[in-house]
């Protein structure tokens, strides 16, 4: 049996194409929801027609907002996982580098199951950029049994050389295409045709560093002063940290002065349509770096260090949180476009493996 253990919105967005592929080819699996993010996954799952999770490891229906909640939630997940029907003959598929990844890894190790790591081998070579994600993926990719790596350079970082598969891209390429097959809601359609920018940021190295946070807020203000409407789908934990760092009042002042629209996270279908119709995206998300590439939307990366070069020089530009680089991007973003058609189907590589193995 295949057990798919995921808990964050990012993990779900990049894994649902694999689940759809397994369903189409009638490969049995169990979908286990770790519930780090609940509402956004549930909303997107229903919108995309993905089946309901077979098991919820917690019934927490509110997304985790801070570190304290995370520390209380993780032991509860592990305690409930002890009753899972996983055996040493099964496969446990985990994704990426989130806290849920570590929990899925520990659960699989506890049962002695074969660990399958999706989006494996990616490195920034800096344990603090991103933190703690770089540590998580280094450990998990090294000690997994089977690794699905986006590109050859990612595979080359893994110490063992057995059971490594190249997917020729991130599964987010498939996710973006599939999401756009569903129509957008009226909530998003009202912005189409307007001069708007989509902004998001959530990485801990940005949120927990007050100096970086202020630099991002200055970038946001510069974008607003250029006459753009800015749409900011904002996560619960981001709001918590902004208030904790004392900058939420600055956000409220910007909302009074400029067309800054804040909201809770959109489901994935609406979010991809919002990306596609935006002037550009400003974000610290690695997933968005892939999604903007396939959608051919310019992206200003709100980070100092990146671990993926997809889209760089074509659709994406690294700001390093430096205003001079931001100004260059704002003057030049219309020229940032993808040069070649994207034809790879990374999720098919994963589905083919399980179809031919089980």
Q: What is the pLDDT of residue 165?
A: 95
**Which residues in the chain come in under a pLDDT of 50?**
none
Q: What is the pLDDT of residue 61?
A: 64
pTM for the complete prediction? 0.91
Domains in the chain (CATH in brackets) are: 2-180+345-357 (3.40.50.2000), 186-335 (3.40.50.2000)
Q: What is the pLDDT of residue 64?
A: 64
Q: What is the pLDDT of residue 144?
A: 95
Give the residue from 282, 277, 308 showing the smallest Cα distance to 295: 277
Residue 94 backbone phi and psi in degrees, to 5:
-125, 160
Q: What is the pLDDT of residue 92?
A: 98
Which residues make beta-bridge pairs with 91? Answer: 2, 114
Q: What is the pLDDT of residue 70?
A: 75
Q: What is the pLDDT of residue 60?
A: 65
Q: What is the pLDDT of residue 358?
A: 84
How far, in Å, CA of 312 to CA of 186, rounded? 32
Q: What is the pLDDT of residue 65?
A: 60
Q: What is the pLDDT of residue 178?
A: 95
């Amino acid at each position: 049996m295949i057990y798919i253990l995921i808990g964050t919105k990012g993990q779900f967005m990049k894994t649902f194409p694999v689940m759809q592929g397994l369903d189409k080819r009638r490969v049995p699996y169990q979908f286990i929801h770790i519930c780090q993010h609940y509402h956004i996954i549930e909303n997107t799952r229903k919108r995309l027609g993905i089946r309901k999770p077979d098991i919820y490891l917690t019934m927490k229906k509110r997304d985790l907002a801070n570190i304290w909640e995370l520390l209380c939630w993780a032991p509860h997940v592990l305690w409930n996982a002890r009753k899972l029907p996983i055996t040493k003959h099964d496969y446990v598929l985990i994704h990426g580098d989130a806290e849920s990844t570590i929990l899925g890894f520990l659960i699989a190790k506890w049962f002695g199951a074969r660990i399958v790591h999706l989006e494996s081998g990616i490195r920034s070579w800096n344990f603090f950029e991103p933190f703690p994600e770089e540590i998580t993926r280094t450990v998990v990719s090294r000690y997994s049994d089977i690794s699905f790596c986006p590109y050859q350079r990612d595979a080359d970082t893994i110490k063992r050389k057995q059971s490594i598969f190249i997917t020729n891209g991130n599964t987010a390429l498939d996710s973006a295409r599939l999401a756009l097959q569903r129509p957008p809601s009226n909530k998003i359609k009202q912005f189409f045709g307007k001069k708007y920018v989509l902004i998001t940021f959530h990485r801990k190295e940005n949120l927990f560093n007050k100096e970086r946070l202020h630099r991002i807020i200055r970038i946001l203000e510069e974008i607003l002063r250029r006459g753009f409407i800015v749409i900011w789908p904002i996560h619960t934990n981001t709001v918590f940290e902004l208030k904790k760092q004392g900058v939420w009042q600055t956000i409220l002042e910007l909302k009074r002065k400029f067309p800054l629209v804040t909201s809770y996270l959109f489901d994935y279908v609406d979010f991809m349509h919002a990306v596609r119709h935006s002037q550009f995206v400003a974000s610290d998300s690695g997933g968005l770096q892939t999604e903007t590439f396939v959608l051919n939307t310019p992206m200003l990366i709100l980070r100092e260090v990146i671990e993926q070069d997809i889209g760089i020089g074509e659709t994406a530009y690294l700001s390093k949180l430096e205003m001079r680089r931001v100004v260059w991007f704002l003057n030049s973003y219309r020229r940032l476009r993808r040069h070649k058609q994207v034809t790879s189907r990374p999720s098919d590589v994963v589905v083919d493996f399980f179809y031919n193995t089980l």
